[in-house]
Amino acid sequence: MGTSDLKLLSTPSSPFALRVKIALNIKGLDYDNIVETMNPKSDLLLQSNPVYKKIPVLIHGDKSISESAIIVEYIDEVWKNNGTPILPSNAYDRAIARFWVAYIDDKWYNSSKNLLVAQNDESKKACFEQVEEVLLRLEDVLNKYSEGKDFFGGENIGFLDICFGSYLSWLRVTEKVIGKKVLDETKTPALVKWAEAFVAHPAVKGNLPETDKLLVFAKSLVQRMVAAATPK
């Protein structure tokens, strides 16, 4: 463990931990990345997040902050003079960004997870339609709020970019698992272009988990989830 005042409890596969890493990079902050095995959960994790007992957790001095979206907002507020702003300065625009982040963490997370574990053609078709619905809605959101720039946040990566972009590696894994494109240039051209800009951004580049390694983890995870859902 290093000597930084900032410590991040994370796992390499977590899109939620990735959000925090990107926010820290945008602000140019040094931190110690402490990789959690989660099995068993470390004493540090249990002490830092006794309610949910999950990552990510940002430890700032003697303070612990949990939940990825909350951590990103904390970073943006505490280090507001570092790097570029993550949340909009206007209260209404901040509210809109928070709304769509909550939408992503509900609709996108659940529909994409269901698609990964779907076990028959009918279920896969229904789940894929749900995923497409979310992407089409986000395509509209991007076109509306980007003002023709690269990101949801305009010229710079913002709150919504970070929170949706953190799922991109898992999106690629889903495509490999189901053998079908999820992010399709014919249906969501703006999102395809956005994804290319996002992964190339200096705060993101080199931090996304490798698809092949994530695929191995995902297959194991899907097996456990299917087994848990199967009646005994």
Mean pLDDT across the chain: 93
Mean pLDDT lowest for which of 97-106, 122-131, 153-162, 212-221?
Answer: 212-221
| Confidence bin at 1 (pLDDT 50/70/90) | very low
| Confidence bin at 47 (pLDDT 50/70/90) | very high
Single residue among 30, 55, 79 that ends a domain in this structure: 79
Q: Mark whether 98 and 183 lie in a shared domain.
A: yes
Single residue among 24, 47, 79 that ends a domain in this structure: 79
| Confidence bin at 132 (pLDDT 50/70/90) | very high
**pTM as predicted:** 0.93
Per-residue pLDDT at 18: 98
Q: For the domain that residue 10 is a member of, what is the CATH number?
A: 3.40.30.10
Q: Mark whether 200 and 126 lie in a shared domain.
A: yes
Q: Mark whether 187 and 214 lie in a shared domain.
A: yes
Domain assignment of residue 61, given as a range: 6-79
Is residue 108 situated within a structural domain?
Answer: yes
Q: Mark whether 106 and 170 lie in a shared domain.
A: yes
Is residue 164 situated within a structural domain?
Answer: yes
Number of domains into which the chain is organized:
2
Is residue 147 situated within a structural domain?
Answer: yes
| Confidence bin at 230 (pLDDT 50/70/90) | low
Is the pLDDT reported for residue 232 higher than 80?
no
Is residue 85 situated within a structural domain?
Answer: no
Q: Mark whether 157 and 125 lie in a shared domain.
A: yes
**Higher-confidence residue: 188 or 116?**
188
Is residue 40 situated within a structural domain?
Answer: yes
Single residue among 79, 106, 133 that ends a domain in this structure: 79
**Higher-confidence residue: 153 or 33?**
33
Which is it for the CA torsion 212, 217, 223, 228, positive or negative?
Answer: negative
Q: How far apart are CA 47 and CA 154, in angstroms?
A: 39
Per-residue pLDDT at 153: 86
